[in-house]
Amino acid sequence: MENQRSFIFRKYFYWILGAAFGALFLFLLALRLDLFQGPGSAGDGEGFAQTGAVASRDTWMNIFQKNTKIGYVHRQFSRSDEGYRFQESTLMQVNTMGMVQEVRVRTEGSLYPDFTLSSFRMELLSGFFRFKARGSQDGRKLTLVMGEPPSEEKLEIPLQEKLYSAAGIHEIILLEKLKTGSQKIFSIFDPLTLSHRPFQVTVLGEEPLTVMGREEKTRKVSLDFMGTRQFAWIGEDGDIVKEEGFLGIRLVKASREEALTGLSGTLSEDLTEIAAIPSNVNIEGANGLHTLQVRIDGVEGLDLFIDGGRQSLKGRILTIRKESMEHLPDRPYRFPRSADGKNYLESTPFIQTHDRVIRAQVREIVLPGDTDPVKAEKLVSWVYRNIRKRPVLSLPSAVETLKNLMGDCNEHAVLLAALARAAGIPADVEAGIVYQNGRFYYHAWNVLYLGRWITADATLGQMPADVTHIRFVRGTERQGDIIGLIGKIHLKILEQKK
């Protein structure tokens, strides 16, 4: 079995996704969903006042990864009787783990006259995977509906302040005539993770730019979010004419004809490879190691979960020890809860523990008399054997993964978490990096509570997982924190022990 797993690992190492692109996608979708809460000047807490007219816009942009065109965006913004309407359609051909996949995202919605959100609807299509969400804001409450029947989930989320729309941010910058050096700080609300994060817009100044063959005055702004910085250039007519930043991706204003042509499917750089971290030494037989010690740089001062459990951090020296499956305590034992009271048995938007299909699958895999360790081993083995290893550029959903029986590490992880919770085993998703062929790749796996936490990787069929699994965050709601790490982490392996 170990030789077989080693062969599978080598064969599919490009398909161990990193949560790298998963995190990037969450970031892009959070912005595309256009949900921003509580904007105001840094520290002033004031809302925006409308000081001028807003023009209707119909903008096309090419999407490039470095010099290769990988897609286009069509944006529309117009007045309505109630305020404003916005629409955005995106098509991308993305190379991740050696495969080029087509991704389509469509978002539309309405805004009140003060740019606060009235309603939105969003759909993402990627291969066999589809994700839908819609929402509306009524006073200080946001109502979200995610997924499709019969697995549709409705959430009502109280808000401290009204939500604003990203579709109107550059309008706000223009209307308020923000000067160079001015900042606006937003608390971004991401319905995909139900979390709030700071988002800072800074006006950097005027900059001439050649746009569609002619020179134009633009205002350059920086967009700082989750440790990453992107830039946007706003033209004299209010259109965003250029954006650039993360992983070499940039958007450039174009005509409709230019945007709709030039997509040849040319293989662009693999995003997983771009995000990977080189190792100073090769690691042979990782699954046979008991301890791995590394020096880690680039994580200082960040709110990560690096120290704890199988990992111990002293200064910049991180030690990972493989867990033992021996002497696991018998039931009953007290189920764990996180510091914020999180219940590791509950259903969440992408880990649908109580879905009837998930529960029916658990009954086929485990027996009522199985102990928790036996249940866990059966579940890890089933997911490993039955989910086809394939990169997926979508939002990981346990129900969709079980329906399609394919996915990368994110799909494996959310499905195993849902199955384990449905079987009565507290479970969660972890994200970080894992070693393969001289590099560390961004990756997602699970942690299961069997009287104590045990790390499991259903993508690789490992329980406990090998010590090259270096955890940065725990919980699907924290996976976006990976974004701020990409391109900044440096590792040096100091010691390997069997």
Q: Are strands 291-297 and 490-497 parallel, antiparallel or unpaired?
A: antiparallel
Assign residue 134 a region (left: φ > 0; alpha: ψ between -120 and 50; beta: otherwise). Answer: beta
Classify residue 287 as exposed, middle or buried by CB count within 10 Å of its CB (0-12, 13-18, 19+): middle
**CA dist 419 to 280, 350, 485, Å?**
38, 12, 30
**CA dist 272 to 18, 98, 423, 475, Å?**
6, 9, 33, 21
pLDDT of residue 47: 37
Token pair in block for residue 425:
């085993």
- The candidate with the shortest Cα–Cα distance to 168, out of 86, 285, 290, is 86
SS3 483: helix
pLDDT of residue 469: 97
pLDDT of residue 44: 39
d(C-alpha 152, C-alpha 146), whole Å = 6
User: What is the CATH topology of the domain spanning 2-20+276-497?
Assistant: C8orf32 fold (3.10.620)
d(C-alpha 26, C-alpha 32), whole Å = 10
pLDDT of residue 173: 65
Q: Are strands 317-321 and 291-297 parallel, antiparallel or unpaired?
A: antiparallel
- The candidate with the shortest Cα–Cα distance to 344, out of 352, 335, 354, is 335
**What burial letters (b/e) apply to 297-327, b meaning 16+ CB within 10 Å?**
eebeeeebbbeebbbeeeeeebbbbbbeeee
Residues linked to residue 102 through DSSP beta bridges, in sequence order: 93
Q: Are strands 141-146 and 153-158 parallel, antiparallel or unpaired?
A: antiparallel
pLDDT of residue 435: 94
pLDDT of residue 197: 64
pTM of the model: 0.80
pLDDT of residue 21: 41
Token pair in block for residue 207:
């900059």
Q: Give tens-digit pLDDT for 186-204.
A: 665 554 455 556 778 888 9
Q: Give tens-digit pLDDT for 30-73.
A: 444 444 444 444 433 333 334 445 678 899 999 888 888 989 99
* Residue range(s) occupied by CATH 3.10.620.30 in the chain: 2-20+276-497
List, edge to edge, every strand of the sheet that includes 311-314.
Answer: 311-314, 317-321, 291-297, 490-497
Can you give the pLDDT of all 498 residues of the chain as single tens digits?
Answer: 434 333 333 333 333 333 334 434 444 444 444 444 444 444 333 333 344 456 788 999 998 888 889 899 998 988 899 888 989 898 888 777 667 778 888 888 888 888 778 888 888 887 767 778 888 888 788 888 877 777 677 878 787 777 766 666 666 666 666 788 888 776 655 544 555 567 788 889 899 988 888 888 888 988 877 677 888 898 877 788 898 877 778 889 999 999 999 886 666 777 777 788 999 999 989 999 999 999 999 988 888 999 999 999 999 999 999 999 998 887 777 887 776 667 899 998 789 999 999 999 999 999 999 999 999 999 999 999 999 988 776 677 899 899 989 888 889 999 999 999 999 999 999 999 999 889 999 899 999 999 999 999 999 999 999 999 999 999 887 777 777 788 889 999 999 999
- The candidate with the shortest Cα–Cα distance to 203, out of 219, 186, 185, is 219
Strand runs (DSSP E) across 159-281, as ranges? 163-164, 183-190, 195-211, 214-225, 228-235, 240-244, 249-254, 277-278
